[in-house]
Amino acid sequence: MINQNKPVAVTGADGFIGSHLVEHLLAAGYRVRALAQYNSFNNWGWLEDVAATHNDGRLEIVCGDVRDGDFCRTFVEGCGTVFHLAALIAIPYSYVAPDSYVDTNIRGTLNMCQAARAAGVERIIVTSTSEVYGTALQVPIPETHPRQPQSPYSATKIGADAIALSFYNAFDLPVVIARPFNTYGPRQSARAIIPTIISQIATGHTTIKVGDLSPTRDFNFVADTCRGFIALAQADGIEGRDINIASGTEISMADTLATIARIMGREVDFVVDPERLRPSKSEVRRLCGDNRLITGLTDWRPQVSLEEGLRATAEWFVNPENIRKYKTEIYNR
């Protein structure tokens, strides 16, 4: 369904998943208009790495901010498909700066929906998160699972989903909500558990600081998540639906960290850092997604096992050119 005659717009393209999605779209032959958040350094985030290897003219990088409605309208003009990934995503920081999450996640999504409607786009994929479900009340978690806002971050994503679906119901905007579970891989922020552990080990730490190791997560390698986004953009007749991108499996944080240490061939001790613990009622204890809807509507299937994905992620982080971009001594909220 993606129109080859029009550029594909990606917000949040300078971030972890967004930069990988841009690479996947370029590899599939699409022209991409990628949004990097405006800053006075003219830094494109992870798009710096992408741009260095894609110089055939199909990648256009634009700097701006989804919090500005006028900018959003100019950004999507002439695009056929929009992938809206721009968001503030770090849960710990949402405890101390919730206003900024409302501005970026809710108002930013409103601005993008208004812009997409004005531009007459053919589809807008709005990115949700498995955090909207909170701790699983049933496993695997289907799209009909109740929403449980256990952090300011998850509350704003619930609000953003509702804004997007209201535009489908009120204005027939061709919206699809993509809901990825626990994506990991190269370039991920050190505020997430897997890169936190790998980056500490890669820089020689033998005592690794962690948060609660008992929760379970449904981890998905970033390439699988990107393939899920593209599958949802290409599928017919799925407007107005929210759809999980999930492996359908779960593993505890403790077992994940033991696997990472084994893969990296290191003997390490894990210590709980109180700064890394969520408030007790805010911690999501269990996440495991039901992927039957996406596998029924598309040909998408998870392709990368956790072992394979963790090996690829560790190999990327131990590269000195990559690890030097991380401040492993500092807890990244």
pLDDT digits (tens, 9 = 90+) for 181-217: 999 999 999 888 899 899 989 988 888 888 788 899 9
Catalytic residue among 133, 153, 168, 184: 153
Contacts for 213 with CB less than 8 Å, ≥ 6 apart: 252, 253, 254, 257, 270, 272
For residue range 114-129, list pLDDT tens digits in order: 999 999 999 999 999 9
Q: Which pLDDT score is estimated for 331?
A: 61
Residue 218 predicted with pLDDT over 90: yes
Residue 326 predicted with pLDDT over 90: no
For residue range 88-106, list pLDDT tens digits in order: 999 999 999 999 999 999 9
Q: Which pLDDT score is estimated for 55?
A: 75
For residue range 250-265, list pLDDT tens digits in order: 999 999 999 999 999 9
Contact 87, 104 (CB under 8 A): yes
Q: Among this protein's residues, is 153 annotated catalytic?
A: yes
**pLDDT class for 249, splitting at 50, 70, 90?**
very high
Average pLDDT in the chain:
94
Q: Which pLDDT score is estimated for 332?
A: 61
Residue 311 predicted with pLDDT over 70: yes
Residue 333 predicted with pLDDT over 60: no
Q: How far apart are CA 136 and CA 131, in angstroms?
A: 10
Contacts for 56 with CB less than 8 Å, ≥ 6 apart: none
**Element spanning 288, H or E:** none
| Among 146-160, 228-242, 313-327, the least confident range | 313-327
Q: Which pLDDT score is estimated for 280?
A: 77
C-alpha 202, offset from chain centre: 24
Structural domains present in the chain: 8-184+220-245 (3.40.50.720)
Q: Which pLDDT score is estimated for 97?
A: 96
Q: How far apart are CA 178 and CA 195, in angstroms?
A: 23
The reported pTM is 0.96
Q: Which pLDDT score is estimated for 327?
A: 77
Residue 154 predicted with pLDDT over 60: yes
Residue 278 predicted with pLDDT over 80: no
**Element spanning 184, H or E:** strand 183-184
The strand order across the sheet containing 59-64 reads: 59-64, 32-37, 8-11, 81-84, 123-127, 175-180, 242-245
Q: Which pLDDT score is estimated for 330?
A: 66
